[in-house]
Chains A and B, each alone.
Chain A
Amino acid sequence: MSTYEEWCRNMDAQASHIIGVYREEDPLGGRFPEPEQWLRRYFECMKCGDPDRVQVMVDELTEAKYVLGKDLREHLGGAQLDMNGWTGAAADDFRNYLLKLEDAVNVLVECIDSLLLIVRSYQALVLSMRNDALNLIDQTLKAIDNAGADGWKIALAVVGAIAGVVGTVATGGAGAGVAVAVFSSLVSGAAGVANETIDGDSEFTVCLSMAKSSVNVIHGIDVERAKIENALSTLSTFVSGSKLAEVRPDRPVIITAPSFDPGSFGMTDEAQGKHRRPTDKKDLVPEPKRHEDGPYDDGVFGDRYEEQGPA
Chain B
Amino acid sequence: MSSPDHLNAELINARAAQLTDQAAHVYSRVHRRNETLAAARGQAVAATGSASSSDGAVRVSVDAGGMLTDLVLAPGALQQNPRQLAAVVVQVAQQAAAVARAAVRDVYTPLQNEGVVREAPVLLPEVAAPPPVAAPPARPRRPEVSDDEFGGPVMKEQGW
Contact = CB atoms under 8 A, between A and B. Distances in A.
B13 A3 contact: yes
B17 interface: yes
B30 A131 contact: no
22 contacts: A3-B13, A7-B16, A10-B16, A13-B20, A14-B19, A14-B20, A17-B24, A18-B27, A20-B27, A20-B31, A21-B26, A21-B27, A21-B30, A24-B30, A52-B9, A127-B7, A127-B12, A128-B7, A131-B6, A137-B19, A141-B26, A161-B6
A99 B118 CA distance: 82
B16 A141 contact: no
Given A17-B27, A203-B30, A3 B19 contact: no
Interface stretch (A71-79, A144-152, A274-282): A144-152
A141 B20 CA distance: 10
A134 interface: yes
A249 interface: no
Contacts of B20: 10, 13-14, 17
Contacts of A222: none
B27 A131 contact: no
Q: Is the interface of B mostly helix, strand, loop or mixed?
A: helix
Given A7-B13, A14-B20, 10 more contacts: A10-B19, A17-B27, A18-B27, A24-B30, A127-B7, A127-B8, A127-B9, A128-B6, A131-B6, A134-B15
B6 A24 contact: no
B30 A13 contact: no
B149 interface: no
B9 A141 contact: no
Interface of B: 6-10, 12-13, 15-17, 19-20, 22-24, 26-27, 29-31, 34, 115, 118
B15 A3 contact: no
Given A21-B26, A124-B7, A127-B7, A149 B31 contact: no
A44 interface: no
The 5 closest A-B pairs by CB, nearest first: A17-B23, A10-B16, A17-B27, A3-B9, A20-B27
A131 to B, nearest CB: 5
Contacts of B12: 7, 127, 130-131, 134
A69 interface: no
A11 B17 CA distance: 9
Interface of A is mostly: helix
Contacts of B15: 134
A138 B26 CA distance: 12
A262 interface: no
Nearest to A204: B30
A24 B34 CA distance: 8
B7 A13 contact: no
Of the candidates B12, B15, B115, the one having the most CB atoms from chain A within 10 angstroms of its own CB is B12
A13 B17 CA distance: 9
A51 B9 contact: yes
Interface in A44-90: 51-52
Contacts of A161: 6
Nearest to B19: A137
Contacts of B9: 3, 7, 51-52, 127, 130
Contacts of B29: 148
Contact of A141 (B13, B22, B34, B118): B22
A276 B41 CA distance: 104
Interface string A256-285: 000000000000000000000000000000
A6 interface: yes
Contacts of A14: 16, 19-20, 23
B18 to A, nearest CB: 9
Nearest to B8: A127
A63 to B, nearest CB: 18
A24 B22 contact: no
B115 A149 contact: yes
Given A20-B31, A149-B115, A134 B16 contact: yes
A7 B17 CA distance: 8
A151 B117 CA distance: 11
Contacts of A11: 16
